[in-house]
Chains A and B, each alone.
Chain A
Amino acid sequence: MFEISVNNRNVEAEPGETILSALTRAGIEVPTLCHMKKLTPTGACRICVVELEGMAGLVPSCSTPVEAGMRIFTNSPRVIEARKLIIELLLADHPDDCLYCVRSGSCRLQKLAQDYGVRERIFPPRRRENTLDTASPAIVFDQSKCILCGKCVRTCSEIQKVFAIEFTGRGSNMRVSPAFHDSLNVSSCICCGQCISVCPTGALREKSSLNEVTAALADPAVYPVIQYAPAVSVSLAEEFGMKPGADLSSVLNAALRRLGFRRVFDSAFSADLTVMEEAAELVARLGNGTALPMFTSCSPAWVKFVEEFYPEFLPNLSSCKSPQSMLGALIKSRFAELEELDPRRIFSVSAMPCTAKKFEAERPEIGRDGMADIDAVLTTRELVRLIRMGGIDFEHLDPEAADPPFGERSTAGKLFGASGGVMEAVLRTVHRFLTGKELKSLKVDQVRGSDGLREMKFRIGGTELGVAVVNGVGNARALLDQLKAGRRDLHFVEVMACPGGCAAGGGQPINVMENDRLRARVNSLYASDQGESLRTAHDNCAVQRLYRDFLQKPNSAIAMRLLHTGYEKRDVPL
């Protein structure tokens, strides 16, 4: 530790860290656009420049190491002037359409322009040709709003290791693009949406389904129903000025009914169903020793990742559909039958923390007889907009329950929102299936946590299972390569495509990683597991009833037809 002087005050710094890191710790704010925690700085945007005594030019604080005795000024007139100029230059070829932009209010460029008092265009507009890419079912890429900070490229390559996009061209022709200037739709993009989460502007955004949903809500001939994922219910609170992480399920049920949905279902119910099907599948695979380790298949971006990059592991993916698609199939079959509804009249919406679920809903396997099981997927962000548009005030809503027959859930299903949650939920049920007894402690500590890859040995009766929990497909690559090299000690692996699991999904409110919101969401999910009595999928009465009256038993012929699916190799440029 040594001291540096910042704005004539002493600040402690550690050898080897950057000026930015010392300033952040000391609570001195410096704006950044291209900076990414834990990754090597690129110094691309220059907005973090500070004045360093003895240096002729300003230095980027994100990529300049501290030295003892440095005298730094973070907001001298020269610094402010330089930052303002950078913003003005960035705006030179940026559209002036903030009012119409989906990121208005959560745009970093907009905030900087505000903060630095940029009130007029000083450079004549120089527009890039319009290259709006809307072909992907999940992600819209608007080149005209890109400021070339590179965060999407680095997230895609260094964190997710998907390498779908890269800087192409040079100088004023440079742009971010998939190989061959293809559309994202035909690239190796897995639709995880992590690029959207890090984009400082509106260049990357989800492909919105709000118009379809509002049209369906207004159409009397249509029967709109909605399901929402566990991660969604714990991610809305902060958007409405409530305590981050608070579980709004019960008021959300009420809100969705006010908006016009005829039925409100909880995807945590179908998560319980997934647990039953997946546990039975695992027990069967352990019995005959085939296609082990089994991989979870709830994360559609992870499924697409395997289909593209590791097709040799397709047999290892669980054949279970995701909770979204299981419920989608049940709504248009069992529910329609019970209610004597024409399934084609039903407009089935799902609210997900995920952009890849939009891709999943468009998979041809997710439906029957030319009819899709899910008609529209809304991200958490879109759901927030829908609720705002509907003039809903959560404060004035009384809690309501989700609708039968798919409204009841255990906390095991709820845990799907956290990385390690599917594993924990399935282990509880596998233990019951194999031994006929409940786990002594339902809480499986070792699979909880936030590390990208966690492994443990789990004893069930006389057998020891090797299990692993992965979040972030970049972390999955390492494990897959070990398996390819012959590793044999694993039986069950949970993979969520997004670093941090569904709670940090690509459809969540922007800037999730920037503060403790992610932890608040996950804590909220675990708190409900701690506090409630129904904690195992197999004890969920609604699930038991569904098996008794309709599905017979896990992995039965009818369950296989409705709740299971298949995968195939995808031919994309890798």
Chain B
Amino acid sequence: MEHQCDIIEEILRKYPNATRDALVPILQDVQNACGCLSREAVIRIGAYLRLPASSIYGVATFYNQFRFRPTGKYHILVCRGTSCHVKGASSLLLLLRGKLGIREDGVPAEDGLFSLEAVPCIGACGLGPVMSVNGKLYAGIDSEKKLDAVLEECRKLKDLEGGTVQ
């Protein structure tokens, strides 16, 4: 917690004399650094910008981009745009939920490795159905085999890092 507070203070220092215009950039910076917007972060940013917590929460919930709970180590976005939908995005989504044991979008599965979010168009309509993992785009995921390959890649990466999931 201490650590997160320091990160937020450091970000705020980059915005001296900021007004409400700086709200969205600050929210983006904090989310990038901390993974999500915690309650404490929202209240601290509000105190800094002299904005009520309710207003900040209102702005942050307006955009799909902002999250209030930490994601898994690998955060998967599945495109739900029209073009991907036609190419079978909804079955991809169902398949993913089942495979990863995801109960609620945005909340990591029990192992903490993956989290999943369905989003409006990612902007790669010619390549559907598309998904992205931590920002890296995977195109044409139209079979279970291709999906498994992507997930396997992530798991291997994790093993290579030997990292534990936070």
Q: Which residues of A contact B (CB under 8 A)?
A: 157, 163-170, 177-181, 187-188, 573-574
- Let me know if A166 and B54 touch, CB within 8 A: yes
Which residues B44-94 have CB closer than 8 A to chain A?
A: 46-47, 52-58, 61-63, 68
- Let me know if A165 and B54 touch, CB within 8 A: yes
Bound-state Cα–Cα, A188 to B53, Å: 10
- Let me know if B52 and A180 touch, CB within 8 A: no
- Report A292 CB to chain B, min CB distance, Å: 28
- Report A159 CB to chain B, min CB distance, Å: 14
Q: How large is the interface on B (under 10, 10 to 19, 20 to 34, 35 or more residues)?
A: 10 to 19
Bound-state Cα–Cα, A188 to B55, Å: 12
- Let me know if B53 and A573 touch, CB within 8 A: yes
- The answer to the question of B39 belonging to the interface, with a C-beta cut-off of 8 Å to chain A, is yes
Query: Which among B47, B52, B57, B61 is the interface contact of A157 at CB below 8 angstroms?
Result: B52
Chain A residues near B11 (CB-CB < 8 A) = none
- Let me know if B53 and A179 touch, CB within 8 A: yes
Query: Which among B42, B47, B55, B62 is the interface contact of A163 at CB below 8 angstroms?
Result: B55
- Let me know if A180 and B62 touch, CB within 8 A: no
State the main secondary structure of chain A at its contact with B.
mixed
- Let me know if B54 and A163 touch, CB within 8 A: yes
A180 in contact with B55 given A169-B61, A574-B43, A574-B46 (CB within 8 Å):
no
Bound-state Cα–Cα, A573 to B37, Å: 15
Bound-state Cα–Cα, A166 to B57, Å: 8
- Let me know if A574 and B53 touch, CB within 8 A: yes
Chain A residues near B63 (CB-CB < 8 A) = 170
- Report A385 CB to chain B, min CB distance, Å: 32
- Report A193 CB to chain B, min CB distance, Å: 18
- Let me know if B39 and A170 touch, CB within 8 A: no
Bound-state Cα–Cα, A497 to B147, Å: 59
Chain B residues near A178 (CB-CB < 8 A) = 54
Query: Which among B39, B43, B58, B68 is the interface contact of A166 at CB below 8 angstroms?
Result: B58
- Report B40 CB to chain A, min CB distance, Å: 10
Q: Which 5 residue pairs are nearest across A and B when measured between Cβ atoms?
A: A163-B52, A166-B58, A166-B54, A179-B53, A573-B53
Bound-state Cα–Cα, A169 to B57, Å: 9
A170 in contact with B52 given A179-B42, A180-B68 (CB within 8 Å):
no
Bound-state Cα–Cα, A181 to B69, Å: 13
**New A-B contacts (15) at CB < 8 Å, excluding given A169-B61, A573-B53:** A163-B52, A163-B54, A166-B54, A166-B57, A168-B62, A169-B62, A170-B61, A170-B62, A177-B57, A179-B57, A180-B39, A187-B54, A573-B39, A574-B46, A574-B52
Bound-state Cα–Cα, A240 to B93, Å: 60
Q: Which residues of B contact A (CB under 8 A)?
A: 39, 42-43, 46-47, 52-58, 61-63, 68
Chain B residues near A165 (CB-CB < 8 A) = 54
State the main secondary structure of chain B at its contact with A.
helix
- Let me know if A168 and B57 touch, CB within 8 A: yes
- Let me know if A179 and B62 touch, CB within 8 A: no
Chain A residues near B57 (CB-CB < 8 A) = 166, 168, 177, 179-181
- Let me know if A167 and B58 touch, CB within 8 A: yes
Bound-state Cα–Cα, A180 to B52, Å: 12
Bound-state Cα–Cα, A170 to B56, Å: 14
- Report B61 CB to chain A, min CB distance, Å: 4
- Let me know if A180 and B42 touch, CB within 8 A: yes
- Report B87 CB to chain A, min CB distance, Å: 24
- Let me know if B68 and A179 touch, CB within 8 A: no
Bound-state Cα–Cα, A165 to B54, Å: 6
Chain B residues near A181 (CB-CB < 8 A) = 57
Chain A residues near B46 (CB-CB < 8 A) = 573-574
- For B60, the closest partner residue in chain A by CB is A168
- Report A131 CB to chain B, min CB distance, Å: 14
Bound-state Cα–Cα, A170 to B60, Å: 10
- Let me know if A168 and B53 touch, CB within 8 A: no
Give 9 CB contacts A-B under 8 Å. A169-B61, A179-B52, A179-B54, A179-B57, A180-B42, A180-B53, A573-B46, A573-B53, A574-B43
Bound-state Cα–Cα, A573 to B54, Å: 8
Chain A residues near B43 (CB-CB < 8 A) = 573-574
- For B51, the closest partner residue in chain A by CB is A163
- Report A205 CB to chain B, min CB distance, Å: 21
Chain A residues near B54 (CB-CB < 8 A) = 163-166, 178-179, 187-188, 573
- Report A252 CB to chain B, min CB distance, Å: 39
- Report B104 CB to chain A, min CB distance, Å: 14
Bound-state Cα–Cα, A187 to B43, Å: 12
- Report B58 CB to chain A, min CB distance, Å: 4
- Report A255 CB to chain B, min CB distance, Å: 42
Chain A residues near B58 (CB-CB < 8 A) = 166-168
Most buried by B among A170, A180, A188: A180
Bound-state Cα–Cα, A188 to B62, Å: 21
Chain A residues near B68 (CB-CB < 8 A) = 180
Query: Which among B39, B47, B52, B61 is the interface contact of A168 at CB below 8 angstroms?
Result: B61
- Report B59 CB to chain A, min CB distance, Å: 9
Bound-state Cα–Cα, A134 to B56, Å: 24
Bound-state Cα–Cα, A490 to B87, Å: 72
Chain B residues near A166 (CB-CB < 8 A) = 52, 54-55, 57-58
Bound-state Cα–Cα, A90 to B42, Å: 33
Bound-state Cα–Cα, A180 to B36, Å: 13
Bound-state Cα–Cα, A166 to B43, Å: 15
- Report B110 CB to chain A, min CB distance, Å: 24
- For A170, the closest partner residue in chain B by CB is B62
Chain B residues near A164 (CB-CB < 8 A) = 54
Bound-state Cα–Cα, A187 to B53, Å: 10
- Report B127 CB to chain A, min CB distance, Å: 26
Bound-state Cα–Cα, A188 to B68, Å: 20
Most buried by A among B39, B52, B63: B52
Bound-state Cα–Cα, A574 to B53, Å: 6
- For A167, the closest partner residue in chain B by CB is B58
Bound-state Cα–Cα, A22 to B54, Å: 35
Chain A residues near B52 (CB-CB < 8 A) = 157, 163, 166, 179, 188, 574
